[in-house]
Copies of this chain bind each other. A is one copy, B any other.
Amino acid sequence: MTEPTVEPWAIRETSLDPLRLAQWESVLSLSNGHIGLRGNLDEGEPHGIPGTYLNSFYESRPLPYAESGYGFPESGQTLINVTNGKLIRLLVDDEPFDVRYGTLHHHERVLDLRAGVLTREVDWTSPVGRRVKVRSRRLVSFTHRAIAAFEYEVEAVDTDLRVIVQSELLANEAQPMVAADPRVAAALDKPLEPLEHITEDHTALIAHRTRASGLTMVAGMHHDTEAPGRVQYEVGCQPDWGRATITSVLHPGEKLRLIKLVAYGWSSNRTLPSLRDQVVAALAGARYTGFDGLVDEQRKFLDDFWHSADVEVDGDPELQQAVRFALFHVLQSSARAERRCISAKGLTGPGYDGHTFWDTEGFVLPVLTYTHPPAAADALRWRHSTLGLAKERATALGLRGAAFPWRTIRGQECSGYWPAGTAAFHINADIADAVIRYRTVTGDDSLEEHCGTEILVETARLWMSIGHHDRHGRWHIYGVTGPDEYSALANDNVFTNLMAARNLREAADAVERNPELRGEFEVTDEEIAGWRIAADEVHVPYDKEMGVHEQSDGFTRFPEWDFEASRNSYPLLLTTPYFDLYRRQVIKQADLVLAMHWAGDHFTDEQKARNVDYYERRTVRDSSLSACTQAVLAAEVGQLELALEYASEAAMVDLRDLNHNTGDGLHMASLAGAWIALVCGFGGLRDHGGELALDPALPPGIDRLRFRIRWQGARLQVTVTHQEVTYEVDGGTVKLKHAGRALEISEPVTVRLTERTAAYPRPEQPAGREPVTAARRSARQEQSEAVAGS
């Protein structure tokens, strides 16, 4: 099994594993949030899943039902693999360069996390004995939104060689067959209809439109070549492809170098001529900057990012690498997404149909808000742009306000199973929470004025129409699904209730802060009073007999799950009917525990400790969203070793393919979770009530943790050791609470830490669901190799 080498600033693949092509394609994806390229080999084959994605470029497809019901969405959206501009094929004399044949002397690919460039080096001898070295570099530019750039070098090693390089645009590539796993995307056959194809000098353009969703796209490419000898250059186009053919003869040691610039433009509104011009202009701009200029700008952009986002983890080099990998991909998914969605897999693969879920606001945006706030603001502006659709959806459901979709690309609800879709109304509170956090952390009121207040008001209205006061005045929310998708249609889910109550309070506060908006949104004093009363009366079920909170009403009285019997049946959703999951104490992902993170101010320390102890034993982490939250709460209650194991699991989900589905795309929220586990877990970062709070404690295995966050225009650097924490500020003064004590930081301040101890012994996890540590991974691997070898 090929695993990346452990190093601080790079992801390195040192051999090509034919069984792990898809995983590596995801891991080595390049994206700027606008365009995404999977790490497919330059020559296209062999591949796991060929993938080139444009943010929000999707096809619509019917959602079928064996038995339909009122309000079931009839149309879904699937992110599609668009025209592939990565392709650069090579003919060596008369043999295609294909690493499956001949002899591969050396293969290495490196994703440089500071450079934002993917480099490849190959040394190969063809079946008849012609040896070449190929070296390529590629990037998706953070500074030229529409541009991907490629450098491709072929070198003759020991004989004269005729090399023919074919650089292509290729539309409607065949896609691999889809599996039955509901988490895998529906593949669409040839989704692109050709509109036009043009060759102009060294440039080729092809334009397509999607059949059902009616989106138009143009892909263009431009080439420059260098070679010591004569070079023959030809370029041509057909409806589904464009191809430049560069032919030359190389003597040993000579190189042919090709610079390929690819640009994409797409729109649901703009005309083909306008998109065509945009693509040609983008190519002109990139040529003006030049390949080396693009590389330099890329580095500078990332230097800025790392300056205020880097997390240093001394003592655990695996985790150090993983958290940087995670932050790099979170940035890639969002940096230039601008008014388009940030999807669960970013633009790294077809998983989940390219949809965005609550993950974005719940896990990705907190990280961006603290490290790269403009991307968080853009993501929230995108949500706001879908508010009209969310209001229509609420009306269709017989509710008031706005009901944001559980999963979507463009804003329409695309969830085909309502108990784990429409019923998961908590997404609305999660969005509201992200709006609130953005203002708290950045101190920027403009988002609230233009978008945020309206989102808060309309989601508050939704909650008022879903919730109800009982005979005794208490406020309840019935029949909804919380984060734990193994419990659906529950009453008084604690997480949902507390988040909805916060949504109501914050809506009231926002309207009172922005009285000029009251008229526009028709908010009355009575309405605001109703929000505050409901929030104050919210019911939080608690099992006195057991001394723990109930995840939802009655949960702790549900029959227990037989974890021992299902030791080898994870994820349970593939082997167990929902019926049985829903009615038992088996938890897919942190739910009550997530409530204790996001609404942690509603629980006492003793409650947190007891609840962690109770819920740890029943949570199977069949969702990759769970480990980071469990890390945060484990750290808070003093289970520091357990917290580190969960932090590692969250961080390693894709680098070690822990869920065996990294090939479908990276788990963006779990990657964000690596930061959350370290910063909120071991840093103790919280922002309840708009206050910055920190309370660091390191686990054995980490010697020093340093992270940077942005807080209201300043940059705060936090350096934690086992003995002490040092707070340093750039650009202002930061007020914070350290372990409950108010500090005002303008000069560096160092505080001694007291040892954190746990009230209970380390809790056990369900059988077979201990955190996946490096030791457990290698034990498992040895076991499976022993089985395979026996």
Q: Which of A532-589 contact B (CB under 8 A)?
A: 545, 553-554, 557-559, 573-580, 582-584
Interface mask (A182-193 → B, CB under 8 Å = 1, otherwise 0): 110000000000
A66 to B75, alpha carbons, bound, how many Å?
A: 9
Cβ of A419 under 8 Å from chain B: yes
Cβ of A288 under 8 Å from chain B: no
Q: Which residues of B contact A422 (CB under 8 A)?
A: 577, 579
Q: Which residues of B contact A559 (CB under 8 A)?
A: 468, 478
**Interface-side segment among A107-115, A200-208, A410-418, A617-625:** A410-418
Q: Which residues of B contact A101 (CB under 8 A)?
A: none
A367 to B557, alpha carbons, bound, how many Å?
A: 41
B417 and A69 within 8 A (CB):
yes
A576 to B417, alpha carbons, bound, how many Å?
A: 16
Cβ of A470 under 8 Å from chain B: yes
Q: Which residues of B contact A416 (CB under 8 A)?
A: 65-67
A583 to B398, alpha carbons, bound, how many Å?
A: 13
A64 and B181 within 8 A (CB):
yes
A488 and B489 within 8 A (CB):
yes
Contact A398/B181 with A417-B67, A491-B554, A554-B491 known, Cβ cut-off 8 Å: no
Chain B proximity of A426: nearest CB distance (Å) = 13
Contact A398/B580 with A66-B65, A489-B488 known, Cβ cut-off 8 Å: yes
A517 to B354, alpha carbons, bound, how many Å?
A: 57
Which residue of chain B has its CB nearest to the CB of A479? B583
Interface class of chain A by DSSP:
loop
A576 to B470, alpha carbons, bound, how many Å?
A: 23
Q: Which residues of B contact A470 (CB under 8 A)?
A: 557
Cβ of A423 under 8 Å from chain B: yes
- For chain A, the bracket of interface size reads 35 or more
Cβ of A76 under 8 Å from chain B: yes
Cβ of A281 under 8 Å from chain B: no
Which residue of chain B has its CB nearest to the CB of A420? B67
B479 and A70 within 8 A (CB):
no
Chain B proximity of A744: nearest CB distance (Å) = 48
A478 and B558 within 8 A (CB):
yes
A71 and B398 within 8 A (CB):
no
B70 and A418 within 8 A (CB):
no
B71 and A577 within 8 A (CB):
yes
Partner of A68, one of B73, B76, B180, B558: B180
Partner of A418, one of B397, B558, B577: B577
A583 and B180 within 8 A (CB):
no
Interface hub of A398, A415, A468, A573 (most chain B Cβ within 10 A): A398
Cβ of A63 under 8 Å from chain B: yes
Chain B proximity of A138: nearest CB distance (Å) = 35
A478 and B398 within 8 A (CB):
no
A664 to B597, alpha carbons, bound, how many Å?
A: 54
Contact A181/B583 with A489-B489, A559-B478 known, Cβ cut-off 8 Å: no
Q: Which residues of B contact A584 (CB under 8 A)?
A: 478
Interface hub of A65, A76, A423, A470 (most chain B Cβ within 10 A): A65
Chain B proximity of A537: nearest CB distance (Å) = 14
Chain B proximity of A524: nearest CB distance (Å) = 21
Q: Which residues of B contact A577 (CB under 8 A)?
A: 69-71, 397-398, 418, 422
Which residue of chain B has its CB nearest to the CB of A465? B580
Q: Which residues of B contact A417 (CB under 8 A)?
A: 65-67, 69
B579 and A418 within 8 A (CB):
yes
A399 to B580, alpha carbons, bound, how many Å?
A: 9
Contact A579/B415 with A66-B63, A181-B64, A488-B489 known, Cβ cut-off 8 Å: no
A205 to B468, alpha carbons, bound, how many Å?
A: 66
Q: Which residues of B contact A72 (CB under 8 A)?
A: 66
Contact A415/B70 with A468-B559, A479-B583 known, Cβ cut-off 8 Å: no
Interface mask (A14-37 → B, CB under 8 Å = 1, otherwise 0): 000000000000000000000000
Partner of A181, one of B65, B180, B491: B65
Partner of A419, one of B419, B545, B576: B419
A667 to B470, alpha carbons, bound, how many Å?
A: 39
B180 and A67 within 8 A (CB):
no
Which residue of chain B has its CB nearest to the CB of A492? B554
Contact A397/B69 with A488-B489, A558-B478, A559-B478 known, Cβ cut-off 8 Å: no
B489 and A582 within 8 A (CB):
yes
B66 and A576 within 8 A (CB):
no
A397 and B579 within 8 A (CB):
yes
A73 to B66, alpha carbons, bound, how many Å?
A: 9
A70 and B573 within 8 A (CB):
yes
Q: Which residues of B contact A180 (CB under 8 A)?
A: 68
A180 to B69, alpha carbons, bound, how many Å?
A: 9
B67 and A64 within 8 A (CB):
no
Q: Which of A28-86 contact B (CB under 8 A)?
A: 63-73, 76
Interface mask (A417-451 → B, CB under 8 Å = 1, otherwise 0): 11111110000000000000000000000000000
Which residue of chain B has its CB nearest to the CB of A186? B66
Q: Enumerate 6 A-B pairs (CB-CB under 8 Å) in ascending A order.
A: A66-B72, A69-B417, A418-B577, A418-B578, A478-B584, A480-B583
Closest 4 CB pairs of A and B: A66-B416, A479-B583, A64-B64, A63-B66
Q: A66-B417, A71-B578 are in contact. List 20 more A-B contacts (CB 8 A).
A: A64-B64, A64-B66, A64-B183, A65-B66, A65-B416, A66-B72, A67-B416, A67-B417, A67-B420, A69-B417, A399-B580, A418-B578, A422-B579, A470-B557, A478-B584, A479-B580, A480-B579, A488-B489, A489-B583, A553-B554
